[in-house]
Structure 1
Amino acid sequence: MYNVPADFINEQKVWDALENNQHPDPSRIREILARATEMKGLTLDEVAVLTCIQEPEMLEELYNTANRVKDTIYGKRLVLFAPLYISNLCANECLYCAFRASNKGINRHALSQEHIAREVEVLIKQGHKRILLVAGESYPKEGLQYVLDSVKTIYSVKSEHGEIRRVNVNVAPLSLDEFKQLKSTNIGTYQIFQETYHRETYAKVHKGGKKKDYNWRVWALHRAMEAGIDDVGIGVLFGLFDYRFEILAMIQHINELEDKFGVGPHTISVPRMEPATNSDMASNPPYPVSDADFKKIVAILRLAVPYTGIIMSTRETAKMRRETFAMGVSQISAGSKTNPGGYEEEDDISGQFSLGDHRSLDEVIRDVAAMGYIPSFCTACYRLGRTGQDFMDLAKPGDIKLHCGPNAVSSFKEYLQNFASPETVEVGNQLIQQTIDSMSGVARQRAEKLVKRVEAGRDDVYC
């Protein structure tokens, strides 16, 4: 099954949808936006219509609708995490990536388990609770065991006020049996990006290594979910091909997962091409995405797959990140480094790509809180089994907010007590009180109870 062409990515259907829905009139757009507020997702044709919006007035209506849907589902909550690059060894030739095998301009590292532990200690001392483990698509002689051991190492590191409570993983596509081994390490989400769904472009930009195989990669999430990993993350690298095509093809992929497994991806990432060491393509994207179109992408995805988390990394500037919170982004990285060993020591040339937001975790949190968003370090759903279909069964009727709101507040309070600067503590405590005051019923009772436990010295409280 997994070595055959992925016919669920039907390029002709994508082009037909775009061709048939050009120049939509405002009444058609408003009809689709109204349907989007029902939070049941959108069809391929409806998404195609939204990608064609150009008029400032209609764009504003798109953004406002995305804000309503995001606020209804997630409230004023942003989940934070940090990527941890354990290796930049790679056997692939991806023209847009600094890690490609032929690039001699970066320092190559595969961190030892002891070095990984030291990196984790730095992140814990900053206040992080979630890590996304990232590795180039080649490992030391241990092979996959290197990744499995690295996950165990991350979980093993403890300090006075914390530990990493959830490890998500972004590594090369695995076989079914290998995915079962990965699941046994108690990971959270398995994340992989197709980079581009356009087959001709995919072949042009992937010149060597296993990653040349489009089908092996696009079937990876099927294998992961069949292996029992029910939270998976999806994404493309915007800038490689027409963003309109990429959105619609990704919707086809999402629909396929929902049809086969009853639930789609837990997260969607929206990386936009940024400069990378010795990559002309990264500095000059074939299909550059403007800031206006990038915001449109985020808003459309929020309406098309309303219950799926949207992740924005530190590739983007602080300004762009701020502007997209209201349009659909629900998870962000902070204080990121994209080179192995980067948290312990600086190495500006060996990262995977250039960063747009260089602020520390504390600075990001203070900024987010000043905007009225609760920074959340919650990992309760993973640890209580609220994943996959179980999560969606709570999310769609709105019941998940009875857990997410209180847990976000208590995890933020824990950060303020143990890690924050005085300036962040002041802003954060005011926001926590305002947030609790805005709650009612069960949610408020739970939030007040959890915060009191944290104030009494308890860490890691959740419901």
Structure 2
Amino acid sequence: MKEFPARDWLVASEVGNLLQTAKCDEGKIREVLAKARELKGLDAADVAALCQIGSPDLAEALFETARTVKEQIYGHRMVLFAPLYISNVCGNDCTYCAFRSTNKGLVRTALDMDGIRRETLELVRQGHKRLLMVAGEGYSAAKGGFNYVLDAIRAVYDVTEKHGHIRRLNVNLAPLTVDEFKLLKDASIGTYQLFQETYHRETYAAVHLSGKKRDFDWRVTAFDRAMQAGIDDVGMGVLFGLHDWRFEILSMMQHIQHLEDVFGVGCHTISVPRMEPADGSDLSMAPPAAVSDADFKKIIAILRLAVPYTGIILSTRESTAIRRECYALGVSQISAGSRTNPGGYSEGEDANAHAAGQFQLGDHRSLEEVIADLAESGFIPSFCTACYRLGRTGQDFMDLAKPGLIKLKCDPNAVTTFQEYLIDYAKEETRCAGEAAIDCELDKMGTKARRNAEKMLSHIKAGKRDVFC
């Protein structure tokens, strides 16, 4: 295995210099925003300049540019998923997390395969087609090693009820060896997701007190091993609130550039979680580098311009109001109806759910409530999994995305998967709003995309399922 030491490509001093020398000159900012509208991305110096925006006028110019770029690339699609927590057993002492090993008040659970199937069945019955499996870094001791994860993946894919089953399972797991990543790829996962939490080494050491996660370099080089194992769909993120968000964004840019330089493709998604209160974590109640709502919106807008073809994921950590404000600024994927405790879907919101969860949620709405809200706001909720299943990942995806050809696939697939949901799961009121949104979306499509969409919609309405292009 070839190694790519992080210190060769993750250089904190370069980030520091960029932040010190970048100036919020109006002319420079508007020049960068004009460049962003070309949909070719931004370099680190451009991003550093946008990070300095303070005036309301320039902030609104940033937001308007982000809205334009989001619209051009993603249109009105919003991909939906749910997290599936299979274990909150963890061997790490991370001071911001309820799952930390020293939190003796947490009710610990590692679901068996029947429990995982029950959770999956409940999510299938809600209408979900895409899940993100999450496990604390302690499943090895709890259930027999890495095979527990592989068995859990098979258990999720095994569940079928009527038309429903999980078509894409993404995973958020602790760093693995190359050989383990190969087994993960063979298990037919979608995206491998991992958050660095913070790229600032001193802060990282201060908040990760013990456990395997304390090794900064092992974690930050995980994507190298994943890509060497053949996984070309990876999702990164940091926990905003641990260190200066400007430093984190520019460090993330270094990470993305490294992956592009070595493997030819960067990350498929970026998640933007903000620290939320967590039981057993004093730090989470007073984040050392708290991010305001205004700055949070800047983060999303800047990332959308910096890496325009990369998905941005917004979780239910955020409130309903903030989520609504951020959709148009660049978000392309959201979770809905989430539970962060193992067994939370099949058991419901009981007294133990909060005590066993990873953090407090901000958006408690059901999947259907989120879908109805999206449709009424002009978005098309999408359950599409076509690209992964047809091999349109990594560089193949980018080859279609950058010239704008992916919309010929994504737009029809979005409306057809939405139509499936409306027929199979939605209440009458939601169905009416959703079908009106689909009709409106069809009117906006080009001739070829609309022809494909209408053909697939006719199959869906005739009783066929899982129709995609």
- Superposition TM-score, scaled by structure 1 size: 0.99
2: CA distance between counterparts of 1:58 and 1:446? Answer: 41
- Alignment size in residue pairs: 462
Q: Match of 1:108? A: 108
2: CA distance between counterparts of 1:98 and 1:2? Answer: 33
2: CA distance between counterparts of 1:374 and 1:3? Answer: 41
Is the 8 Å Cα contact of residues 4 and 224 (structure 2) preserved in structure 1?
Answer: no
Amino acid at match of 1:107: V
Say whether 1:48 aligns with 2:48: yes
Say whether 1:351 aligns with 2:352: no
Superposed CA deviations along residues 251-270 of structure 1, whole A, max 9, x for unmatched, are: 00000000011110000000
Which residues of 2 match residues 34-433 of structure 1 at below 5 A? 34-139=34-139, 140-345=142-347, 346=349, 347-433=353-439
Is the 8 Å Cα contact of residues 6 and 218 (structure 1) preserved in structure 2?
Answer: no
Amino acid at match of 1:165: R
Superposed CA deviations along residues 61-89 of structure 1, whole A, max 9, x for unmatched, are: 00000111111111000000000000000
Structure 2, unaligned runs of 5 or more = none
Amino acid at match of 2:377: M
Q: CA deviation at 1:2?
A: 4.5
2: CA distance between counterparts of 1:87 and 1:106? Answer: 12
Range moving further from structure 2, 122-131 or 35-44: 35-44
Amino acid at match of 1:413: Q
1: CA distance between counterparts of 2:218 and 2:440? Answer: 49
Structure 1: 4+ residue segments shifted above 4 A: 1-5
Q: CA deviation at 1:5?
A: 4.4
2: CA distance between counterparts of 1:393 and 1:68? Answer: 21
- Partner SS, residue 190 of structure 2: coil
Is the 8 Å Cα contact of residues 50 and 302 (structure 2) preserved in structure 1?
Answer: yes
Superposed CA deviations along residues 227-251 of structure 1, whole A, max 9, x for unmatched, are: 0011000000000000000000000
Q: CA deviation at 1:4?
A: 4.3
1: CA distance between counterparts of 2:384 and 2:407? Answer: 13
Amino acid at match of 1:396: K
Q: Match of 1:458? A: 464
Amino acid at match of 2:362: G
Amino acid at match of 2:98: A
2: CA distance between counterparts of 1:50 and 1:7? Answer: 26
2: CA distance between counterparts of 1:410 and 1:305? Answer: 27
- Partner SS, residue 224 of structure 1: helix
Amino acid at match of 2:91: A
Structure 1, unaligned runs of 5 or more = none
Is the 8 Å Cα contact of residues 6 and 220 (structure 2) preserved in structure 1?
Answer: no
2: CA distance between counterparts of 1:412 and 1:339? Answer: 28
Q: Match of 2:11? A: 10
1: CA distance between counterparts of 2:5 and 2:144? Answer: 29
Superposed CA deviations along residues 280-324 of structure 1, whole A, max 9, x for unmatched, are: 101110000000000000000000000000000000011111111
2: CA distance between counterparts of 1:193 and 1:7? Answer: 20
2: CA distance between counterparts of 1:381 and 1:133? Answer: 19
- Partner SS, residue 236 of structure 2: strand
Amino acid at match of 2:260: E
Amino acid at match of 2:393: T
Superposed CA deviations along residues 131-172 of structure 1, whole A, max 9, x for unmatched, are: 000000011241100000000100000001210000000010
2: CA distance between counterparts of 1:144 and 1:2? Answer: 23
1: CA distance between counterparts of 2:446 and 2:37? Answer: 23
2: CA distance between counterparts of 1:13 and 1:247? Answer: 13
User: How large is the RMSD of aligned CA atoms in angstroms?
Assistant: 0.9
- Partner SS, residue 58 of structure 1: helix
Is the 8 Å Cα contact of residues 6 and 219 (structure 1) preserved in structure 2?
Answer: no
Is the 8 Å Cα contact of residues 274 and 353 (structure 1) preserved in structure 2?
Answer: yes
